[in-house]
Chains A and B, each alone.
Chain A
Amino acid sequence: MSTDIGVWIAAFLTLCIFSFLYKDNPFYKFAEHLFVGVSVGYGIVLTIHQGIIPFAWQPLKNSITGEAPLWRFFVTLIPVGVGFLFFSRLMPRYSWLIRYPIAILIGMGAGFAIPRAMETSIFEQMNGTLRPFGVINSLSAGEIIGAVLMLIGVVCTLTYFFFSVEHKGIVGGISKLGIIFLMIGFGSAFGNTVMGRVSLLIQRVDFLLGDWLGIVG
């Protein structure tokens, strides 16, 4: 059995969380609230020491002491000022000012997404679907069937996502086939996850029986 107080605390909290499986109870409530508190505390520390200090305080300080150019000061001041606009919520008269930082962040996110979604999702997936057909002469019969099935699957599933066409007749049939591909896909992805999740549980059980109780080696 472990003599390390840390292991005992960890084991106790592990059991508290597992107790939720039976039903909600004081032990779970205790662990849950502690978890929330500690994780927020952790977030605060990281925000201060890995966010504010290196990215806001240091550049501002360095540009005043002359270690960094003066323009750095003003460049850093922009996001600081934008951040302060969040506090406008506390003054109802000016609460609309909060829209500024939000608009900037949302605009950035949208602009960032457009070309990158095109590249990583559409271009790569298209290329991946087409490529096998380019080397079709060197493929085995099984691989050719796979490539054809892949094409059919992509076409049918994509048809399912058409919104402005009524899904009946040919479109209906194809999109129905798309649903079949979707369901097989979801089922297999589900089944394929069991292994990883069980590994996580094995690791916790190993911790309890091994590191804590010392029953298994």
Chain B
Amino acid sequence: MIQRFRDVGLPIGLALCWIILFSASTAWGQPAPPTHVEAVDTPNDTGNSITVRWQISPDDKAGAGVDGKMNVVGYHILRSDDPAGPFQLLQEVAGGITEFRDDDGMAGSPAYYYRVRAVDGAGETADSETVGPVKATSEWFHTGKVYILIAVLLYSAILVYCIYHARRGREFFVRRIAGLEAVDEAIGRATEMGRPILYTLGLGGISNIATIASLNILGEVAKRTAEYETPLRVPCYDPIVMNVVREVVRSSYSDAGRPDAYSEDNVFFITDSQFAYAAAVDGIMIREKPAAIFYQGHFYAESLILAETGNSVGAIQIAGTDSDAQLPFFITACDYTLIGEELFAASAYLSREPLIMGSLKGQDYGKALVLAALLVGTVLEIFGVHWVSTFFQAAS
């Protein structure tokens, strides 16, 4: 009996002691320290930070009051290059916060030790255990981007395969693109009326893919205007693009056998200010009354200012842009509009080069893959399998 009491009594006594000690420490004196403190090298960064994480002190006011007194108002992050200290205060953060990114003094990747100190309203503190050492290192591959790499490689492989096939002389069918068929009509009309053609490439810079597509289309348009001797006016917004446009138009005129008909004065820079450009192009339209106007490239809000003015002078207008916000305005105000991808397709189609046409086929395979992923993904999602949506969760 006594023996049994001893067996039970010791643990009970110890437990009682603990309860008294614990409640004493929570009712007055130190707050409970934060728990589960860890310090890790921040992944996928340039090697300029260490991330410190912890779980809030049970006494944190955001701690839902499990058994704490809920008066911890903040944490101090302490750092040292020696586990024995001294530790220096790096940063104070408010209560409820559980993560801190240290990006101070990381040059040369020194090793650091961390502690997180809970601070309560009365100024009492409690330190966590020390963690470390940790070094900030940089990585050579961003692991969060592996899916994007896979997608890019897969799509590129498809494109290259299609181009390779086209090289061997396989012909592809290409559906009709209404805006393209109108190009000849527009040029013909300008010739008949003896009025110029206006071509604008929008506001994109030379690195903009839409601008490059537009340059291809311009090259073809220029070849035809050269044949008909119709003046082709190209007011430019970007200085670098202007220089490229001159090369493209000049070589189109030589290709068409009419190098003499090319005049440098028809390709000119106006200004690199959006609305000043719009004001000046409006002026040109009103005064020169072009019979056909091309808007191909990347556009912003000036799209409708240009297209409405162009419409008021009675020109045939053919637009094409990848700026999805401007498409509604071109659709309403222009006669023909190349919608988004059609702009790139047009630039490929006009070239009539089999290799480039081949990549159009590749684009279609790309779309087919996207469609398949969408349908499969939807079915899987409904059944609670999130593989596909996880794949497409882009890393930041």
A–B proximity contact (CB within 8 A): yes
Q: A89-B243, A163-B363 are in contact. Are A115 and B148 (CB under 8 A)?
A: yes
Are A123 and B392 also in contact (CB < 8 A) when A118-B148, A133-B378, A164-B364 are? yes
Query: Does A124 have its Cβ within 8 Å of any Cβ on chain B?
Result: yes
Which of A17, A106, A159, A163 makes the CB contact (< 8 A) with B207?
Answer: A106
Total interface residues on A, using CB and 8 Å? 61
User: Residue A217 at the B interface, CB < 8 A?
Assistant: no
Q: Which residues of B contact A113 (CB under 8 A)?
A: 207, 209
Question: A158 touching B175 by the CB < 8 A rule?
Answer: no
Residue A71 lies at the interface, judged by CB distance under 8 Å to chain B = no
Within the complex, the shortest CB–CB distance from B320 to chain A, in Å, comes to: 14
Contact of B175 among A36, A40, A112, A165 (CB under 8 A): A165
- Beyond A32-B280, A39-B273, A190-B329, whether A136 also contacts B393 by CB under 8 A is no
A-B pair count, CB < 8 Å, reads 173
**B-facing residues in A2-34 (Cβ within 8 Å):** 17, 20, 24, 28-29, 31-32
Q: Kindly identify, within residues 343 to 371 of chain B, every residue whose CB is under 8 Å from any CB belonging to chain A.
A: 345, 360-361, 363-364, 367, 370-371
Whether B270 sits at the interface, judged by CB under 8 Å, is yes
Cβ–Cβ contact B332 & A127, under 8 A: no
What's the dominant secondary structure at chain B's contact region? helix
Are B207 and A158 within 8 A (Cβ)? no
Q: Does A49 contact B (CB under 8 A)?
A: no
CB distance from A122 to the nearest CB of B (A): 7
* Distance (whole angstroms) from the CB of B346 to the closest CB of chain A: 10
- The residue of chain B having its C-beta at the shortest distance from the C-beta of A196 within the complex is B301
**Is A163 a contact of B360 with CB atoms below 8 Å?**
yes
Cα distance A158–B345 in the bound complex, in angstroms: 14
**Segment at the B interface, from A53-61, A72-80, A181-189:** A181-189
With A164-B361, A187-B328 already in contact, 13 other A-B pairs whose C-beta atoms are closer than 8 Å: A17-B279, A35-B273, A40-B272, A106-B207, A110-B207, A114-B152, A123-B393, A130-B381, A131-B389, A134-B384, A134-B389, A161-B340, A163-B174
State the 8 A-B residue pairs at the shortest beta-carbon distance, nearest first: A109-B207, A39-B273, A133-B381, A39-B276, A123-B394, A186-B328, A190-B328, A126-B392
